[in-house]
Amino acid sequence: MAKTLKAEMWDKMQYLFRNFYDRMVHCVQYYDGLIDERVLRNVLVFTTEQVPVLHSSFKSNVIDPYWEVEDYTVNDILTVRESVDLEADVNAFICQSIPVESNVQYKMALFNKDGKSTLCMIVNHMCMDGGDFKYFMKKLAENYNKFLDGDRDLEIKTGSRSYDEVYSKLTPEEEEVARGLYKNISQVKDEHYFPLTPPTPGDVTRICRRKVGKQLFADFRKIGKNLGVTVNDLMLTFYVRSLYEIGMFRDDERLTIPCMVDLRRHIVDGGLHTGLTNHTGFMQCSTARKGNTINDTLIEVLRSVRKSKEDPYMGLYSLPLLKLAYTIFPYIISEQAIKIGYLNPLIGMSNIGVMDDRALKMGDANIIDGFMTGAVKYKPYMQLALTSLLGDITMTIAIRGNDEDEKIVERFFDMIIANMNEFVRLNRYRVDGSAPPSGVTLPEAAAPDAMAADIDDGTVTEGEERADAAPEDPTAE
Amino acid sequence: MKERFKRYLEQQFRAIRPTLAAAEYREKVLRQLMDRAQELRIKGMDDDDLIYDKCIAELGDFGATLAAFDEEEHKVANTKRNALLGAVCGVGAVLALVVVYLIVSFLVDNSWGLTWLILVGGAFLGLIALAVVLLIKFGKAKKYIPMRLMPQLVIVLLCVYLFLLLQLVGHVEMAWLTFLVMVIMMAAFDAALAFITDFKFRWIELPIAIEIVCVMLYVIIGVVVGSAFWHPGWLLCLGGVVAGIAEAIVLIANRNKKKDKKEKVRLKDKYTKEDESYYTMWKD
């Protein structure tokens, strides 16, 4: 009889999200040297053996779904190829989707070209989220390096995948409160959507990406540090303002955007001893108006984000409600019940955070570029994902669309970059001592409390990077 | 690889007694290790050191496994002995019972119509003994639902036998009341066990049990005392409802009391505890 694994609450939730996106999480890492295929194969088999869910197929049983552990070989996971057109190969690989019935739930490709390797990976979101994906890639590199050094004591975490690990760091009193947070926070009726074209059968998966540029990133981070705001707050500000612009929303319209939150902040040791799984919630960022300048938008964002950051139970709302639904009903009914109550946000943002270049080094091969991104959304849903590496930020928007949609996304990236430049132009005087541009709104003067609240409040969203981290240290979180 | 596994197992198995069973077990573990190594190779792992480490790691705390195996060997032998002893004792008891039954039947005139009660009593006693053993076993294993079924079985057997004795031997007129008493005992015992085992719904079960006891008492007293009791004796049937309401009041009061106490402590800490260091201390 085949070995089975319990389908945890988040596995089922992510399965439900198949209606909104392709359930894949993606990562691409470019190296300046070659990665040893043999070592990688050994490390991958070790990792896959340690984490059974990675070589299991999902059985959508009407009463209680489960994972069935499957046989596999490393060839089911890893593809190694000499590449002629690297970008075409990378795109073709990351734009595929792994069916839940597959015997493996993640795939990796190693493309070699001109003595350099590019490592690509896609994984079923039901198995892990961005937080654990980053951990997975770090451990892969760590185990690879250990293996090269002759050390066979490889490791990867294998703890519980249960959702209620999120309560492990709370006191019993706090846990009691958190387990009673039945409020459905998805029920925020924001009908703003990203202006993509209507869905057509010809739509294909596209992972659009744009780099911010090291200089621009360094500039606005420095200003952010001066103002005491995080990079996440700044990115949210640029994003929100650009959405007002591309969506042509009225300036006084309220715009609510969910921002993904890594719930591992509530887990003992930041989730280092749980199993690979999802621990993501979201906080709402709701701006009442666009504001005259980018600084005004920043104040709006800070006012909203501050409320969430002050909440000790940030991201923990709705979990008891979901648990209750999955407990009292058979799966087929609970899925319908949750579908009725859950409103998938039309627009979202996920800051996956810093990819640690030192931790991702594989042997002598240094990482020189890369990004991670979330699932490919089906229209009209859309999400901006951010990763930073080597002092630069990569913005990605993964959608299923046509050429026109891609042009719209590219135009949107242009707007974000323009807003970043505008922010730097308006605030450069704060860090270089020059005179402020005429007509500038001073955030401190306009809302001193809004700015002060975010100084060193110690809270970060999923993978959030603090603006006050030293610019020379791109890995600082 | 095989030689490495053998060396490892030889070393590990020195910790337990060199029995034939241990030798067989060692062979079995070696086969398992070799199968696993082969599987890992097929999956794509080709580094012998990594395969060896992984296979050995998957054995877990093998020292403890071996110790448990050794102990189990003892246990199996003891269990076999105990089972044999139990079987012999059981057969002996049955034979003794049959002998007593025959002796009494032959010695006492016209007793064949009643002496079968000796055999039934013996059988019931055997079942009761078995139920008590299972009760203890389930209790130790914390399997409370099957555990709670055992006293019910004992009560039913005792009451049935008591009824047979009263009816057939004592010719008691209202012997059937035993069955009403049986229901009372079953409800009361189960409620008590619900509290002993911290059953989740014990506070729901309690008023139900009280209601059952009250209704049964009402019927028993009504039957024994006569028509004078039926009214206003029916008020007794409200016992469960009254108990339920009283229980809810007590539970709510206790909960509020606990909450108040917590809140008081919190407020006391917040507003009365003097801590001058706060003048210069900040959370950041």
| pLDDT tens digits along A351-396 | 999 999 999 999 999 999 999 999 999 989 999 999 999 999 999 9
Instruction: Tell me the per-residue pLDDT of B170-184, one tens digit each, with 9 for 90 and over.
Output: 999 899 999 999 999
On chain B, the residues whose CB falls within 8 A of the CB of A173 are 262
In this complex, do B49 and A152 lie within 8 Å of one another by their Cβ atoms? Answer: yes
Instruction: Tell me the per-residue pLDDT of B35-94, one tens digit each, with 9 for 90 and over.
Output: 999 989 999 998 999 999 999 999 899 989 989 888 887 777 777 888 888 889 889 999
On chain A, the residues whose CB falls within 8 A of the CB of B47 are 42, 147, 152
DSSP string, B174-212: TTTHHHHHHHHHHHHHHHHHHHHTT-TTHHHHHHHHHHH
Say yes or no to pLDDT of A268 above 80: yes
pLDDT bucket at A183, cuts 50 / 70 / 90: confident
Mean pLDDT of chain A: 88
Least trusted range by pLDDT, from A52-66, A94-108, A173-187, A400-414 = A173-187
Residue A297 confidence (pLDDT): 94
Nearest neighbour of B54 by CB, restricted to A46, A73, A173: A46
Residue A454 confidence (pLDDT): 35
Residue A186 confidence (pLDDT): 67
Q: With pLDDT > 90 as the criterion, what percentage of chain B qualifies?
A: 52
Residue A442 confidence (pLDDT): 52
Q: Chain A 169-198, CB below 8 Å of chain B: which residues?
A: 173
Residue B157 confidence (pLDDT): 96
- For residues B214 and B235, give the distance between their C-alpha atoms in angstroms, rounded to a whole number: 9
Nearest neighbour of B43 by CB, restricted to A38, A73, A147: A73
Residue B277 confidence (pLDDT): 76
Residue A324 confidence (pLDDT): 87
Q: With pLDDT > 70 as the criterion, what percentage of chain B qualifies?
A: 99
Say yes or no to pLDDT of A294 above 90: yes
What's the rounded mean pLDDT across residues A335-356? Answer: 89
Say yes or no to pLDDT of B241 above 70: yes
Residues forming beta bridges with residue A69, ordered by sequence position: A56
* b/e map A89-112, b = 16+ CB within 10 Å: bbeebbbebbebebebbbbbbbbb
Say yes or no to pLDDT of A462 above 50: no
Residue A420 confidence (pLDDT): 96
Residue B228 confidence (pLDDT): 84
In this complex, do A152 and B284 lie within 8 Å of one another by their Cβ atoms? Answer: no
- For residues B243 and B191, give the distance between their C-alpha atoms in angstroms, rounded to a whole number: 14
Q: Residue holding tokens 């074209």? A: A197
* Chain B interface test: which of A37, A38, A40, A42 (most B C-beta within 10 Å): A42
- For residues A471 and A233, give the distance between their C-alpha atoms in angstroms, rounded to a whole number: 17
* Chain A interface test: which of B1, B40, B45 (most A C-beta within 10 Å): B45
**Nearest-CA distance B162 → chain A (Å):** 45
Ordered by start, the domain boundaries in chain B are 2-63, 200-284
Instruction: Inform me whether the C-beta atom of residue A210 falls under 8 Å from chain B C-beta atoms.
Output: no
- For residues A60 and A68, give the distance between their C-alpha atoms in angstroms, rounded to a whole number: 11
Instruction: Tell me the per-residue pLDDT of B96-116, one tens digit each, with 9 for 90 and over.
Output: 999 999 999 999 888 888 899
DSSP string, A17-46: GGGTB--EEEEEEEESS---HHHHHHHHHH
Residues forming beta bridges with residue A393, ordered by sequence position: A388
Residue A439 confidence (pLDDT): 59
What's the rounded mean pLDDT across residues A395-423? Answer: 95
Q: Which residue of B has its CA nearest to A75?
A: B44
CB within 8 Å of B152: residues ≥ 6 apart: B186, B189, B190
Q: How far is CA A381 from the centre of its chain?
A: 15
**Nearest-CA distance B51 → chain A (Å):** 9
Nearest neighbour of A74 by CB, restricted to B44, B50, B262: B44
* Residue B26: other Cβ atoms inside 10 A: 18
Residue A461 confidence (pLDDT): 44
Nearest neighbour of B54 by CB, restricted to A49, A456, A457: A49
Handedness of CA A164, A168, A169, A175 (dihedral sign): positive
Say yes or no to pLDDT of B136 above 90: yes
Nearest neighbour of B40 by CB, restricted to A45, A78, A153: A45
Say yes or no to pLDDT of A472 above 60: no
- For residues A130 and A398, give the distance between their C-alpha atoms in angstroms, rounded to a whole number: 14
Residue A468 confidence (pLDDT): 44
Contact A267, A319 (CB under 8 A): no
Contact A454, A229 (CB under 8 A): yes
Instruction: Tell me the per-residue pLDDT of B137-161, one tens digit each, with 9 for 90 and over.
Output: 999 998 998 999 999 999 999 999 9
Residue A135 confidence (pLDDT): 95
Residue A440 confidence (pLDDT): 59
Q: Chain A 34-53, CB below 8 Å of chain B: which residues?
A: 38, 41-42, 44-46, 48-49
What's the rounded mean pLDDT across residues A287-298? Answer: 92
Say yes or no to pLDDT of A339 above 90: no
Chain B: residues touching A (Cβ < 8 Å): 40, 42-47, 49-50, 53-54, 262, 284
CB within 8 Å of A51: residues ≥ 6 apart: A156, A158, A275, A276
Residue type, B114: L
Instruction: Tell me the per-residue pLDDT of A208-252, one tens digit each, with 9 for 90 and over.
Output: 999 999 999 999 999 999 998 999 999 999 999 999 999 999 998
- For residues A319 and B74, give the distance between their C-alpha atoms in angstroms, rounded to a whole number: 49
Residue B96 confidence (pLDDT): 92
Contact A235, A465 (CB under 8 A): no
On chain B, the residues whose CB falls within 8 A of the CB of A49 are 40, 43, 54
Residue A107 confidence (pLDDT): 96
